Structure 1
Amino acid sequence: MEPIKIMWRQVANMARDAIAMLPQIGVAIVILILTWALAAGGRALVQRGLSRTRLRQSLQDLFILLTSIAIWVFGIMIAAVIVFPGLTPASILAGLGIGSVAIGFAFKDVFENFLAGIIILFRREMRMSDYIECEGIEGKVAHIAIRESHIRQTDGQLVIVPNAMLFKNPVYVRTDQKHRRVSIICGVAYDVDVDEARRVITAAVKDCQTVEQSDHPIQVFAQEFADSSVNFEVTWWTKSAPVDLRRSKDEVISAVKQALDDAGLEIPFPYRTLTFKEPLPLQRAVKDEENG
């Protein structure tokens, strides 16, 4: 019976201590409610202030989130000190410092993506609605969050990419500038005059509406002697979005093909010359001679 009495005494002491702490717990709950209200008001105030600036929306969202986190940390610290009077802000910070080491090891990837997200949000080179390519993933930046970024591919699929991947690997920003250079290869027959072919191709490209000509010249260079043709590298500039590139290629290729046809300049098919070590017997010819 003695162990039962000891256990009952301990339970009674715990209940008595809990009842004695009810006022502190009530005050702590009130503090948390006030913290929630203050965090909501702080977010609204920061959002209203930042909306008048020229900061990007992603940076505004970051500052709003950091404001909310700071208010909640401060409110939770006050509530903890009220419930446990022996705690002090210094001891809480010391505990957080020791605990953060263990938490850092346990959630290494999470914190890595978090810090990478903050750095990415401060970048000016990669913005919302930009078309990027990283590690084989290419598409439009639909959303940049703290831990991940959403990439909408041109086929409509959404790819959620960890921010650490975008931070540690090369990122190609396709739409960093308004225009991009495009190149195609166009071949003409060997009996065609090279200068005339260059003139016809250049004139055809200049007549295309999707070709940017104000700041960037059209370039047509004879590139190589191919198996069946003299190949030209045709280079021009157009808008940088993927659909604009495809549309411009379609227009230029159609225009060059039509211009070469109208000028009577051949775009040759591949030719193959077959040689044999031994002469081939012409069976049909022999039969024709026998019948004759």
Structure 2
Amino acid sequence: MDDKFSSAWTKMLDKLETWFDNIVLNLPNFIIAFVVFLIVLFISKNINKITLRFLDKSKLQRSMKNLISKLISAIIILLGLFFILGILNLSKTLNTILAGAGVLGLAVGLALQGALANFYSGIVLSYVDFVKFGDWVESNGFEGEIIDIDLRSVTLKQVDNNLVYIPNKMVVDSPIKNYSTTSQSRVILGCGVHYDSDLNLVKDLVMNTIYKTFDAVTNKQDVLFLYKEFADSSINFETRFWIDSTSALEVAKAKSEAIIAIKAVFDANDINIPFPIRTLDFPEGFLGANTQNNPTNTNP
């Protein structure tokens, strides 16, 4: 038993001595590999900055510029790692890594189908012209300003300053409404006036008020005024006009200003905006007949 233990101990020492000799012999390669690794990191970082500076002159979106620069940087690092493995005489290990990477890549691809779909959709969104940073859009029931497009989601900043993150695949597969494709937005405002109102006067007052209130309305005829219906308590109308903004917040502000101005001019001209009322029309003599049929005894 002691002989076996002694033999095993001797073999272990021989193995450790062999490893130590290999480390000493390959120490220059380790140093060279470490230096090469630092050089690769330095080159990758500077190539990233140079690429971004070069792409700033193009019309690509910021997300696509970042993607391209990161991909180039990653490729440089990957090539550097292959070169380092060659310096360390690990070419067989490199072949094993590549073979394993193929199998692993297939497994990861099947497991991450949704993530890969968002990745591909992010690339698509980075190329299209109708979706870009600063646009006010509506998609998947959410509305807001696009503040970021990455490889996972589109970030919208809503009117209430909340952020909404919509997966890229949902944006690509769903209809999207872009309010910023033109330089102007249309404001639509509805209201109602009393049945006794002079409808021509109401129309003229509203159109003049909108024309005088908003600089973007350069002509009175640019204001669209339409009576819509005979409602229960009022005659309803709708007015439409343009403002020089594509922001939903500015549209809301313009609608508020229009309401204040129209209410003021209606008050000045004795035009009523009625609240819902119900008129009861009794036949002549109805109340008297009802009193006779149901006499009330006032005597105690």
Structure 1 length normalisation: TM-score? 0.81
1:165 aligns with 2:167: no
State the partner residue of 1:130: 135
Give the Å deviation of 1:227.
0.6
Q: Does the Cα contact within 8 Å between 1:210 and 1:251 map onto a contact in 2?
A: no
CA distance in structure 2 between the partners assigned to 1:119 and 1:225 by the alignment: 49
User: Do the aligned partners of residues 34 and 7 (structure 1) sit closer, same or farther apart at CA in structure 2, a change above 3 Å counting?
Assistant: farther
1:136-285 alignment runs, 5 A limit: 136-209=141-214, 211-213=216-218, 217-238=222-243, 239-273=245-279
Superposed CA RMSD: 3.6
CA distance in structure 2 between the partners assigned to 1:74 and 1:138 by the alignment: 43
User: Do the aligned partners of residues 117 and 5 (structure 1) sit closer, same or farther apart at CA in structure 2, a change above 3 Å counting?
Assistant: farther
State the partner residue of 1:20: 22
SS in 1 for 2:92: coil
Give the Å deviation of 1:213.
4.2
Give the Å deviation of 1:143.
2.4
> What amino acid does structure 2 have at the position aligned with 1:174?
Y
CA distance in structure 1 between the partners assigned to 2:44 and 2:19 by the alignment: 32
SS in 1 for 2:148: strand
Give the Å deviation of 1:220.
0.7
1:78 aligns with 2:91: no
Give the Å deviation of 1:68.
0.7
Give the Å deviation of 1:183.
1.1
CA distance in structure 2 between the partners assigned to 1:18 and 1:107 by the alignment: 43
Give the Å deviation of 1:194.
2.7
CA distance in structure 2 between the partners assigned to 1:39 and 1:213 by the alignment: 55
Q: After superposition, what is the alpha-carbon deviation per residue over 1:138-165, rounded to whole angstroms, capped at 9, x for unaligned?
A: 3222222232343322222333443333
Give the Å deviation of 1:191.
2.5
> What amino acid does structure 2 have at the position aligned with 1:147?
R
What are structure 2's unaligned runs of at least 5 residues? none
CA distance in structure 2 between the partners assigned to 1:14 and 1:176 by the alignment: 71
Give the Å deviation of 1:109.
3.3
> What amino acid does structure 2 have at the position aligned with 1:265?
I
> What amino acid does structure 1 have at the position aligned with 2:84?
A
Structure 2 length normalisation: TM-score? 0.79
CA distance in structure 1 between the partners assigned to 2:9 and 2:129 by the alignment: 65
CA distance in structure 2 between the partners assigned to 1:70 and 1:6 by the alignment: 47
Give the Å deviation of 1:245.
0.8
User: Do the aligned partners of residues 218 and 16 (structure 1) sit closer, same or farther apart at CA in structure 2, a change above 3 Å counting?
Assistant: farther
CA distance in structure 2 between the partners assigned to 1:175 and 1:7 by the alignment: 78
Q: After superposition, what is the alpha-carbon deviation per residue over 1:230-272, rounded to whole angstroms, capped at 9, x for unaligned?
A: 1111111122212211221011112222222333332222111
Q: Does the Cα contact within 8 Å between 2:192 and 2:237 map onto a contact in 1?
A: yes
User: Do the aligned partners of residues 235 and 15 (structure 1) sit closer, same or farther apart at CA in structure 2, a change above 3 Å counting?
Assistant: farther
1:31-42 alignment runs, 5 A limit: 31-42=36-47
Which stretch of structure 1 is more off in the superposition, 136-145 or 51-60? 51-60
Q: Could you say which structure has the larger radius of gyration?
A: 2
How many residues matched?
Answer: 287
**Percent of paired sites with the same residue:** 26
CA distance in structure 2 between the partners assigned to 1:248 and 1:29 by the alignment: 63
User: Do the aligned partners of residues 10 and 233 (structure 1) sit closer, same or farther apart at CA in structure 2, a change above 3 Å counting?
Assistant: farther
